[in-house]
Amino acid sequence: MTQAVTVRRDGDTFQARLFWWHAARLLDPGSAVSRVAFETGPKSFDDVWVEYDPARSALDQYGDPLRREHIQCKWHVTPDSYGYTHLIDPEFINANARSLLQRARQAQIAHAPAGSGVRFKLVTNWRLDRNDPLREMIGNRSGAMRLERLYGTATDNSKAGAVRKAWREHLEIDEDELRLLARTLAFGEATDTLDALREQLDVLFGFVGLQRIPANQSAFPYDDLVFQWMAQGRLEFDRAGFQALCAREGLLGSGQGSPRVYGVKSFEHAFDRLEERCHEVLDLIPAFDERYIRDDEDWETTLYPRLRAFLLKAAKQQPRLRLALDAHVTLAFAAGSIINIKSGRHIELEQRSTGRRLWAGDDLAPDPNWSRLTCETIELQQDKPDLAVALGLTHDLSGDVRRFCEANLPDVGRLLLMQPSAGAGAQSVACGRHAFELADAATNAVRKARPAGSGCTHLFIAAPNAFSFFLGQRQAALGPVRLYEFDFEQARTYTPALTLPISAGNGVSTSEPQNLSE
């Protein structure tokens, strides 16, 4: 009995916090969210729905405006995984007759008959099974179905064909009807804990002016309040109505005077779309196929110039600014090289770790108990000018980088390995100041390890994006650098990305400091 009560309460808490994650944006005039609803809508996709302003809405996986998302929340106390067959099993959603896929089909016919404009999304803390064919069909940046992968084969005699066959027969529809349905489906993995979701809401509430609940208080009244509103018949909320209701409940606090938030994304979080909480967003996602760049030359010819123009404009307008970097490590480093250490700008970074934190170079006082940076230099070849640097803060990448250098970088003479003294891990960097100090230490270590008259420094980084940004701020001290991205499909190897500085001959010069006071 106790376990059943815990499951139900945690499920309600998850749904309520997901509601507030979207509804709080109704208090932000710059948000694209125009309407949010709770416990209303099509069956099995009625937990939360979000409507977007057509003029500012995000685009779906095929570039069409996304007008509305219907979200089904499913929280489990114990971890597990699911696959494509679960979606045709009524027991997966604790139903007796109709499966989640059948209900999605019914919702699609009613709300998205053309297969676009509306998305039906399952958000759960269960993961898609790594060995299930459905996993390969879900886009990492949006969680939406990738039709080119679902229909990558012509017959049913394949993994993709088996998915299509099972879903067609279960729904008793043809291929064209299945294609329309699949285009509207999306899946999100809520990997954060309930406590981490509360911490993220605290940051958001501070931004939009809602009362913040101290972390040392066990009760979080927002969890229950939305169910009280539901009992009163309050199910749908627009901007004006929601603000008035929050004022009546005494939820509106004083504004925090937060800096403007600028987002850069080359991939997308499962349910945290930057457009919903940033004043301006640079969307680089179209240049990528999932995590992989479509054209290697785009790093230098397209992405860096766009990033540079976006950040310089922001930095010239604001002495304090906050960056949300849902982006590759290369872009985080490049962002730092643009708003460099001499820019005179105070930068806060939204750092995703177990939750989402605001990091700055001066956010906490220094702590002697923080991990230091340990360094080891390995001689690979005599009389070779280049230096390779393996910065493994979140995980050890020394073996992978060494193998890559020996196989692919004949001009690398030395390999510099750097790790935290307490060992690599997700919690190895404590805060923004710690990341700032580690970036300082890494810069000094690279300068000492570089041979006299050396060539390029090849950077391999496994670290929080805030650290990569702070290290990028010191790019001038590092000399010419080339960054590498981890290749997720060809495990344990890398692909070359951006080289800095970029010469003036390519249309953009990064060799001269920027005057941000203009």
For residue 277, what is the domain's CATH number?
3.40.50
Band of the pLDDT at 517, cuts 50, 70, 90? very low
Same domain? For 388 and 348 the reply is no
pLDDT band at 36 (very low <50, low <70, confident <90, very high): very high
| Exposure letters 371-394 (e unless 16+ CB within 10 A, then b) | bebebeeeebeeebebbbbbbbbb
Domain boundary among 189, 216, 242: 189
Whether the per-residue pLDDT at 256 is higher than 60: the answer is no
Element (H, E) at 347: strand 346-352
d(CA 169, CA 272): 34
Residue 276: pLDDT over 80 = no
In a shared domain, residues 36 and 182:
yes
pLDDT at 363: 83
Top-confidence residue, 442 or 487:
442
Using alpha carbons only, how large is the chain's radius of gyration in Å? 24
- Long-range CB pairs of 339-342 (<8 Å, 24+ gap) are 339/311, 339/315, 339/473, 339/516, 340/472, 340/473, 340/474, 340/475, 340/476, 340/513, 340/514, 341/473, 341/474, 342/513
Same domain? For 323 and 404 the reply is no
Q: Is residue 142 part of a domain?
A: yes
Least confident of 12-16, 56-60, 215-219: 56-60
pLDDT for the residue 100: 92
| End position of a domain, from candidates 189, 222, 238 | 189
**Tally of domains in the chain:** 3
- Is residue 273 located within the same domain as residue 354? yes
Residue 195 included in any domain: no
Question: Given this model, what pLDDT does residue 8 score?
Answer: 77
Q: What is the pTM of this model?
A: 0.59
Q: What's the CA gap between 415 and 378, in Å, rounded?
A: 5
Residue at 212 is within a domain:
no
Alpha helices in 211-265 (DSSP H): 222-231, 239-248
Q: Give the pLDDT confidence score for residue 453 in this predicted structure.
A: 65
Is there a single domain that holds both residue 69 and residue 109? yes
Q: Dig out the tokens for 210 from the structure.
A: 């809602």
Is position 162 within any domain? Answer: yes
Instruction: Evaluate if residue 4 carries a pLDDT over 90.
Output: no
Q: Does 7 have pLDDT greater than 80?
A: no
Q: Give yes or no: residues 436 and 352 share one domain.
A: no
Tens-digit pLDDT profile for residues 148-179: 989 988 788 889 999 999 999 999 999 999 99
Are 321 and 380 in the same domain?
no
- In 3D space, the residue among 129, 149, 435, 139 whose CA is nearest the CA of residue 269 turns out to be 139
Q: How far apart are the first and last CA of the chain?
A: 66
Q: Note whether 85 and 121 are same-domain residues.
A: yes
Lowest-pLDDT range of 59-63, 353-357, 475-479: 353-357
- For residue 143, the model assigns a pLDDT of 84
- 435 and 472 share one domain: yes
How far is residue 485's CA from residue 475's CA, in Å, rounded to a whole number? 18
Whole-number percent of the chain with pLDDT over 70: 92
Could you give the percent of the chain with pLDDT greater than 90? Answer: 54
- Tell me: pLDDT of 239 over 80: yes
Residues 343 and 451 in one domain: no
Sign of CA dihedral 132, 137, 138, 141: positive
Whether residues 88 and 178 share a domain: the answer is yes
Q: Is the pLDDT of residue 421 over 90?
A: yes
Give the residue numbers spanning the domain of 135.
Answer: 2-189
299 and 331 assigned to the same domain: yes
